[in-house]
Amino acid sequence: MKGYIKGFLKYRFLLQELVKKGIKLKYRRSYLGIIWSFIEPLLTTIVLTIVFSTILEKNIQAFPVYILTGRLLYSFFNQATNAAMKSIRANQSMIKKVYVPKYLYPLASCMYNYVIFLISLIVLVGVSGIYISMGKIHLTSYAFLAIIPVINLFILAYGVGLILATISVFFRDMEYMWSVFVMIIMYASAIFYDANRMLQASDAWKGYLLKLNPLFCIIHNFRNCIYYGKMMSVHMLMYSFGFSIVCLIVGLVLFKKKQDKFILYI
């Protein structure tokens, strides 16, 4: 761990450049550029609201806010883990020419997506403000605690990203398998349906299945702070943080053991 910290401090300026490069490449040849960080979640929310509020969830107030509190977090997790998974092969030309601690590449991939995610939260602030003024949701002091699940989310994404980055170098099919798995995670994260209905259902196993998903626990705690205006679930917080730390440790150990062999497979 000390080696990682020393490497981070030594190459922090390179990390900054990799983050800037990632943001620029993401919006390369786009006229609107980073403005898409606002437009994309807004358009997606409008579509999901029209579809699901009329078909499934008529009982959820401030449905756009409910969707955004799940959609933005899931979108970051999806994009960050996918970018981290491809980061080693995407930077193979640099890896073959110059020595740089290889863990910086998945870290930079998660960080630039995190910056974009934080910017996109402005959309949530704006939409929430509209519904607060209408009295459909209430802003409480618990909103300040939302930073905790947001930090938890980054740790989870980076830990999972390190594991995926390592595996995908040796097993290219992991990229396709993850696209299917991350879709399952989406449906198990209660982004556009009422999570409380399943948590309080008579069939207790439905709630247990939801709680097994650490991303759902993070989203649920974020919603508690922003949407419901109440305290986070301590059990979900402990589970999601514990799961994230374990993923991070496993990812760091696995990545360190296998990184010297990357050059043979990229």
pLDDT tens string 11-34 = 778 888 888 888 877 777 666 666
pLDDT at residue 7, as a whole number? 65
Q: Where are the alpha helices (DSSP H) in 134-223?
A: 147-170, 174-187, 195-199, 204-211, 214-223
Helix (H, G, I), strand (E, B) or coil at 59: coil
Give the pLDDT confidence score for residue 137 in this predicted structure: 85
Q: Does the global pTM surpass 0.85?
A: yes
For residues 245 and 169, what is the distance between their CA atoms, to the nearest angstrom? 23
- Structural domain count of the chain: 1
Task: Measure the CA–CA gap between 43 and 47, rounded to whole angstroms.
Answer: 6
The rounded Cα 156 to chain-centroid distance in angstroms is 8
Residues 6+ apart with CB under 8 A from 189: 70, 74, 213, 215, 216, 219
Q: How many CB atoms sit inside 10 A of residue 98's CB?
A: 8
Give the CA distances from residue 184 to residues 153, 177, 210, 266, in Å, rounded to whole numbers and listed in that order.
18, 11, 12, 29
pLDDT tens for residues 104-149?
Answer: 899 999 999 999 999 889 989 888 888 888 878 888 899 999 999 9
Q: Which domain holds residue 141?
A: 2-264
